[in-house]
Amino acid sequence: MHVFTPAQISVRDTAAEAARELSKIIIDIDRQTGHSKQWWEGLHLLENAGLLRLHIPKEKGGEGADTMSLVLAQEEIAKVDGGYANIVSHEACAYAIFTHCQDEALRERAIKSMAEGSLTCIAITEPDTGADLAQMKTTAVADGDGWLISGHKRVASLAGAAGMYLVFALTDPSLGTRGISAFVVDAGTPGLSVGEADELMGFRQLPPADVFFDNVRVTRSQLLGEIGGAFKLFAQALNLGRLGGGTQALGVAQGAFEHALAYAKKRHTFGKPLIEHQAIQFSLADMATQIEASRALVYQVARWMDETDDTTSREAAKLCAMVKMQASDMAMKVTIDAVQVFGAYGNYRENHVERLMRDAKVTQLVDGPNELMKMRIGHALIRGV
Ligand SMILES: Cc1cc2nc3c(=O)[nH]c(=O)nc-3n(C[C@H](O)[C@H](O)[C@H](O)COP(=O)(O)OP(=O)(O)OC[C@H]3O[C@@H](n4cnc5c(N)ncnc54)[C@H](O)[C@@H]3O)c2cc1C
């Protein structure tokens, strides 16, 4: 039903192959916490397939892929694991933010190391700052030709594994969100430290940790965008992230559906395969239809972004919020139903569906919880977008 270019098909097939390899080790990785040796093995599968540099232009060492390819790659990986699929999206968002680094030498160094596999940590959330960024406490106080950053970040995905940190801090606390600036800080910079990896329910392969900044010195060359312009930068990169969140949900649902369909064909009760019982057949029919509807929305918005080159307008923000909310709610329902098809065995790790159900719940939270998606869509409706 969907037609792709040869380049898009090539990215999709490469990702599918990486996902097949990942599926052989994912249950073991999922049992562990943080950046275990096996977690790195899984990550290297993505890296070797070029999936962590998809959005970086070819002349800068990346794959020069379009948004549709980025979506297809995430969908394939998410059929096996939502957390790893999110890393593909996370790196594309970090790249989008890095392009705003005004210092050419730093920008080129950062993009080169990303293309070579260095991960990025985006540190915004704090103990008292979630959806409401106006509550941010981390400060960047002017000092000579630069700033001293002090504060405590939470839920920072890839902290401890990342080579670079994009940190958001108040350069002018009196201006609220318009007083937040973004800086690039290398891992290992004096004053930057990372806590233990957090223990999670879903998206366990996207381990977050606390990050502490104790008078971390940054120069003007480390500033991203304008002073006080971080909120705008973040909001723009987040649209791509939300399209990604919806795509991960789509892949997670498709993965769970495929497991449930295969099981329903081979498991027999009352003298026939499960799938020949009408209740199970109807449940699978509902799942397949809901997934296909979400896929149509995800692909349509990805194509629209490629055709218009618009990732930043209010229209883009509205569409990406719709994708994230619709697909993640769909994935939650589909994965619960997939577990049900397995009966007691849905609760067993070896059947994969329980992990995908845990991941589906996190797609409703990641890249902004769905309440924030409704607020974003509501604001667009008020403005007539
Ligand atoms: C998988 C994952 C990865 C993440 N990675 C990162 C990362 O790399 N870096 C980073 O900085 N942060 C990261 N986060 C944190 C994320 O950005 C925050 O979860 C988000 O900002 C929301 O904050 P909160 O979860 O503290 O919810 P809160 O802001 O405390 O809100 C709690 C609940 O109330 C709802 N709510 C809040 N305000 C309203 C309102 N006005 N009306 C209605 N409902 C409301 C929210 O939707 C939510 O359901 C990640 C989160 C997840 C789930």
Query: In sequence order, what are the residues at sequence separation of 6 or more whose Cβ sits closer than 8 angstroms to the Cβ of residue 351?
Result: 259, 263, 342, 345
The pLDDT score that the predictor gives to residue 297 is 98
Q: What mean pLDDT is reported for the chain?
A: 96
Q: Which atom of ligand 1 is nearest to the CA of 159?
A: 8
Mind listing the pLDDT tens digit for each residue in 16-31?
A: 999 999 999 999 999 9
Residue whose Cα lies nearest atom 45 of ligand 1: it is 371
What's the structural domain count of the chain? Answer: 3
| Cβ atoms of residues 243 and 320 within 8 Å | yes
Q: The CATH number of the domain where 135 resides is what?
A: 2.40.110.10
User: Which residue has tokens 């999110």?
Assistant: 86
* Site to substitute for ligand 1 among 86, 120, 153, 155, most atoms within 8 A of C-beta: 155
Sign of the Cα torsion 71, 77, 79, 81 reads negative
Q: Cβ distance 264 to 275 under 8 Å? A: yes
Same domain, 213 and 276: no
**Ligand 1 proximity of 364 Cβ (cutoff 6 Å):** no
**Domain membership of residue 167 as a residue range:** 120-230
Same domain, 226 and 238: no
**What's the confidence (pLDDT) of residue 68?**
98
Q: Which residue positions in the chain have pLDDT lower than 70?
A: none
Task: State the residue for tokens 């223990």.
Answer: 199
Question: Which pLDDT does position 1 carry in this prediction?
Answer: 85
pLDDT score at 309: 92
Q: Is residue 1 part of a domain?
A: no
CB 167 within 8 Å of CB 153: yes
- Give me the count of residues in the chain: 385
**CB of 155 sitting under 6 A from ligand 1:** yes
Could you give the angle at the alpha carbon of 242 between the alpha carbons of 364 and 370, nearest 5°? Answer: 30
372 lines ligand 1 (CB under 6 A): yes
Which are the contacts of 102, defined by CB distance < 8 A and separation ≥ 6? 221, 223, 224, 225
Please tell me the predicted confidence (pLDDT) of residue 34. 94
Last residue of a domain, one of 209, 230, 251: 230
Last residue of a domain, one of 115, 149, 166: 115
- Yes or no: say if 318 and 372 are a contact pair by the CB < 8 Å rule: no
Residue 63 φ/ψ, nearest 5 degrees: -100, -10
Ligand 1 pocket, residue 208 CB under 6 Å: yes
Residue with the nearest Cα to atom 49 of ligand 1? 369
Q: Which two tokens stand for residue 7?
A: 């380049």
Strands 223-224 and 192-194: unpaired
Q: Is the CB of 130 under 6 A from ligand 1?
A: yes
Q: Are residues 104 and 88 in the same domain?
A: yes
Angle at alpha carbon of residue 166, lines to 15 and 112, rounded to 5°: 55
Beta partners for 218? 147
Please tell me the residue having the least CA distance from ligand 1 atom 37: 131
Domain shared by 190 and 304, yes or no: no
Give Cα separations from 91 to 84, 123, 237, 240, 341 (angstroms): 11, 14, 11, 11, 35
Q: What is the pLDDT of residues 197-233, one digit of tens each?
A: 999 999 999 999 999 999 999 999 999 999 999 988 8
- The pLDDT score that the predictor gives to residue 146 is 96
**What pLDDT score was predicted for residue 231?**
85
pLDDT one-digit tens code per residue, 310-339: 988 999 999 999 999 999 999 999 999 999
**Do 366 and 250 fall within a single domain?**
yes
Residue type for position 98: F
What was the pLDDT predicted at 190?
98
